[in-house]
Every structure is written in structure tokens, then in C-alpha cells.
Structure 1
Amino acid sequence: MSTFFKIIRWPNVLLTILTQLVIVYGLLIPYGVDPALNWWQLLLLISATGLLTASGNIINDIYDVAIDQVNKPEKLLVTKSISESSAYNLYFVLTVLAVICGFVLSNSLNKPILSSIFIGVAFVLYLYASSLKAMLLIGNLVISLLVALVILITGIFELFPSITAETQIGYKFLMERLLEFGLMAFLINLVREWVKDCEDVNGDKAGDRNTLAIALGRSRAAKFIAFFIIGILILLGWYVYEYIYLNDIATYYFVFLIMGPLLFVMIKLWSAKSQKEFHILSTVLKVVLLFGILSIGIFRINYYLN
């Protein structure tokens, strides 16, 4: 059981589930939306995305065996704690269960076309692990888009089936907010992927992969990422000034829990050299991503304060 939770990367699965719950109960319901999904349909949506996250982590570990033997041999699971064939079987079962959940959910809404989202995501996750991850920038962009999709897919299933002429304007406003949070998640995860590439540069070279850290060299890649973070900080600063600076709670939250840690990572990237240093920065960025997701709950805070 311990191996199961490790290979599915349970914190990542939990973050996926938490993201969807925060959107529903932190944004949509406080705004006055009558969600399209009842409790069991929401459970199906959460199950489908959570299972896809888990299966994606498994297939990623299967294709990363040679690389993980170099980067983190102490954390190697496939071939060490679980056989490759057993890992494949687990990946297949979780993927099928995810697609079934998505199919049942979509048909219960009389929108069978929506089930193609889950099939498409499962296909892309396999492509990412088997080939896209080895391509310069492509793999980073794809996985970051999938992270953003977790946010958008919740809005699609909760809003799209019940949209009417009366609710169209309000639902458009909510989808625009979700797009903003999706963009933030995309950018932060993209930075984290690049930092992880700097951390794993030795294994990626052994695995014949072409990453930003390999193409530019670890030091120059780190400086490029630092400049990229400056752009994100400017964008977030503009967003805070333009939309939320009148709300003290939201402003302090963004400045101290999102922008502050990003500034810390940006500064540290100029001097980071060792694998351990990049690992710490990657962990900080994961926490920033968590705070970014939880920031959707600020709408919930507003709901209680007003």
C-alpha cells in the first residue's frame, strides 16, 4: 500500500482534488451559482481527474526508470519496489477507471462529447511520458497546460451544462476568472518544470533528453528562469493593482504568499548551482502553486465578510 501511494504521487493527486473543491466551494457557490453537478456527479469529476493524475504519474515513472537511477536512485520505485509489468497494469486500470468515470459523468449531463476530454488527457499524458517530455520546451508546456486544465475543466462541467440566456453574462465572468487562475497555474508550473530540469540535468543527459538546462547549460538556464519570473511578478503586480488592491486580505495574500516566494526563488536562481539547491527551489514553487490554487478561496472570504 505504501508503494501504491508513492507511485501515484498522492500529494499531486490531493492537490488536483483540492483545486476542484476550492473552485466549487470557494468561487462558484459563493458567487451564487447553482452548480450543474450534484454531489455524485462532482464525485465522478473529482475521481476522473484524480485517477488521471495518478495514472499519469505512474506512466511517467515507468519511462523515467533509467533517468531516476541517476537522479534519485533512493526514490526509484519501478523495478525496485514494484515490477514494470505490475506498474503498467496499475496504470492501465487507473486510466480505464478515469475514462469510465468521465464517460458516466458526461452522459449523465446529456453531453457525451465531454467524455472526449478525459480520453484526450489520458492520451496526452501517455505521449508526454513516452516522447514529449524529451523534447525541448514541448514537454514543459504540455504538462503545464494540463495543470491549468484541471482548473478550467471544473468550470466547464459546473457551468456549461446549465448555461442559459439569463446566466450567460455571470458565467462568462466566472470563466474569465478561472482563465486568470489557470494562466497563473500554467506560468508557475512552467517555472517549476524548468527548475526541476536544472535539478535533474545529469539524469536527463543520460536519458538523451533535451531540456532547457541542457540546451543552455544549468547556470544560464537558471538566469533565464529568473528573468521569466520577473515577468510573472510584473503580471501579478498589475493584477493585484488592477483588480484586488482594495481588498486588504487578498492583497496581503498575493504579496506575501505568492509574489514574495517567487521573488525569493528568482534571487536564489542567480547563485544556485547544486542539485540540492534546485530541489529546494522546486519545492518552494510547489508550495507557491498550492497557495495560488487556494487563493481562489479568497472569493469565499469575501462572501463571508460582505
Structure 2
Amino acid sequence: MINTLGVVGAGVMGRGVAQAAAQKGMRVVLIDIAEEILTAADSEIRQALRFAGMMDKSRESEPAEEVCQRIEFATDLKALAKVDFLVENVSEKVAVKQSLYPQLDSICKSDCVFAVNTSAISITRAGSWTKRPDKVLGMHFMNPVPMKPLVEVIQAHHTSDATIETAKQFLTQLGKEAIVVNDMPGFVSNRILMLTVNEAVFVVQDQVSTARDVDRIFKGCFGHKMGPLATADLIGLDTILFSLDVLYESYNDPKFRPAPLLRKMVDAGLYGRKSGEGFFKYPNLHQAAANKAIQADNVAGKK
């Protein structure tokens, strides 16, 4: 039984994991490097809980205040000394994660499992940055975390079967199901999804079609709830680019070469929903909130 969960990184994914765990009765320690980011995370978790309560009239929802009381917000990694299980959600930059894991290794309890929430980075490599590679695994949550019933769990070269069972138990507590896959860059979901998104960007770049019509084809012809370009906006075009760069480097395969249009959009600050514009515009997103989201998602890069 996981009683206290550590979550490192208060961006979109970190907030979602913290909220989902607190809703299931776990204590949560949510870490980021700036108080203003944690304040924004607190506000957005409360708003998400209130919205969820309004939408789900089928059952009595626990008041948002009571759920949030189970979340401790901290800027000091030492607050993680008491956690039973840890989910890391910092930037998809290898150098950032590599500098973080030795610190976590020295602070957390020896039996604490480290779950790397990554789109493409090798879990075996992440385990090598610690003295507990048998207790390191990948845990690829999907956005929005509280609403997605499945989680891709990645077993690295040294990950023990006991660690996998602990991860499954944790996800069961969250009301989610684990699908266990082996460790290769991109795993299953992003090895396929990033190619689809990237090719959709090439289609727009080559003026074969508009972003709107590309997504209409996927929704209308294939029954997808969301087209590849709207999905990219939801994930964040910067995250898509980071993931493709990792896949390109890992496989040395030109099929993962990012579309020049994608890189241009990221350079222009068009990240998708969190910036208010990507392949589509999101006019209801206030720029101040967008800036906080971007800062939260990339904050670890400032260490």
C-alpha cells in the first residue's frame, strides 16, 4: 500500500498525478523549484477538482479543500525523504533528469520506487543514474491524468519483478490499469504517436492540407476523438520536438527527423494549448496562466 507519494515537477503532468493520488486518499508531496509555480499548481488543482465535481453528478464528490489538504507543496527535495513511491515529471531533457536522479537517490528511502514519467528517454539509462536500478521503471501517464484509465509501464533492463508489482499496486490504488512494455526509446505509444504527429506536420508544411482538415480526416474517417495536430497542441509542441529529437538520436533513423515547421513553431513560442496557440488557437487561455504553465513544464531546465 502506497501511503505517501512524491511528485517532482508541478507542470501539467505533475499536477495531474498529484490530483489523482490525492483524490484516492494518498498523501502527496509535490515538488518544484519556485513558490509561484506551486501556488499556480495549487490553484489549478482546486479548479480541476471543482470542475470534476460539477461534471460528475452521479456520486458525492469530496470537497476540493479536503483533497488539497492531502497535498504538501515544497521547493526542497528533502521533503521527499518520507515518500513511499516517487513519480518524476521534469523536463524531457536528458541533462536535466541526469542531474536530478543522484539527488533523489541520496534523499529518498532505500525501498522507494522511482517512476520516470517520460515520453521517450531510456528507463535503463535513467536507472544507471542511481544506486537502485532495480527500483527504477517507466510510468508514462497520459494527459489529462485523472481521466485516463490506462498507464504505459516500462520495465527496464534492471527493473525487478517486485518493482513492477509495486507499480501495479500503486496504479490500482489510483483506479488505473498498467500495461507493461519493454524499454526501447518511445516505448509503444510515443514510438508510434510521434511518427504520426510528425508526418501530419509535414503534410501541413507541404501544403497538402490544412491542420483543420488533417484532424477532420482522422476524426471522421478513423473515429479518433482528437486529431493528431490537436493532440500535439495538447501535449505541447515543445515536448513533441524534444521527444522526436530523443528518438532520432536513439535510433539514428531519419524517419524520426522532426519536421522543419515543427521546430520553427517551437522557436516562435507556439507550443499549443499552454501558450494559447499552436496548430490551433485557444483564445480562452489567459496569457498569464499560459506563461505559468510553460514555466512549470520547463522549470527543471533552470537548475
TM range (shorter): 0.3 to 0.5
Answer 1 or 2: which has greater strand percent.
2
Structure 1-normalised TM-score?
0.37
More helix by share: 1
Bigger relative CO (Cα 8 Å, ≥ 6 apart)? 1
Give the TM-score, by structure 2 length.
Answer: 0.37
